[in-house]
Chains A and B, each alone.
Chain A
């Protein structure tokens, strides 16, 4: 989980009286069996289309937990897509890139970055959790209305 630092909390508290703030949230729950189905039928084609090199290297090194890990990463991208209200059928790694394992960082590109800027979002925090059957992810962003490029 990406942590909110004390500095970030105090900055938010200090500035909250100057202009309105709100929080955007995206949530996703995914069934591990869906990812197993994709791995069994499409293998590397599925991996390279949906996940980045770091994620693929991780599952090659941890084959016993690959489907659970990938389900969490898929849910994380989907949560970010929902937070940004994008119209993508597929949460593309090209738009929402993730790095790190213990502490996941989000990097937006292309229209995902444009959507975030339009909403006044400068950072997205992610929390991912896995069970044997499901993985879930929550994406949260603090919206800065002062820097917002468009209507709320």
Chain B
């Protein structure tokens, strides 16, 4: 069974178009400093929404939300908890 971070890494591999292999980065590494562009982060956001059945509110569409694998995982956990409550 894959973890949230495994799924995030798979999505970054498919849609992140990064200049560095995601497998070489730890969960706290800065994705923007490793080639994640603003447009690629749109693709990553849409793929995350489909994969986890969530929707990022406009207020969360900040660079800090997509700054690292750990930051994305934290955002997904927050949104997952919110959707479970509604």
Q: Residues of A with Cβ closer than 8 Å to B?
A: 30-31, 34-35, 37-38, 41-42, 45-46, 49-50, 74, 78, 87-92, 94-95
Given contacts A88-B62, A92-B61, contact A41 B43 (CB under 8 A): yes
Q: Which chain A residues border B79 with CB–CB below 8 Å?
A: none
A90 and B43 form a contact (CB under 8 A):
no
A50 and B43 form a contact (CB under 8 A):
no
Q: How many A-B residue pairs have CB under 8 A?
A: 59
A34 and B40 form a contact (CB under 8 A):
yes
B39 and A38 form a contact (CB under 8 A):
yes
By DSSP majority rule, is chain A's interface helix, strand, loop, or mixed?
helix
Q: Which of A37, A41, A89 contacts B45 (CB 8 A)?
A: A89
By DSSP majority rule, is chain B's interface helix, strand, loop, or mixed?
helix
Give the B interface residue count (CB, 8 A): 21
Q: Which residue of B lies closest to A37 (CB)?
A: B43
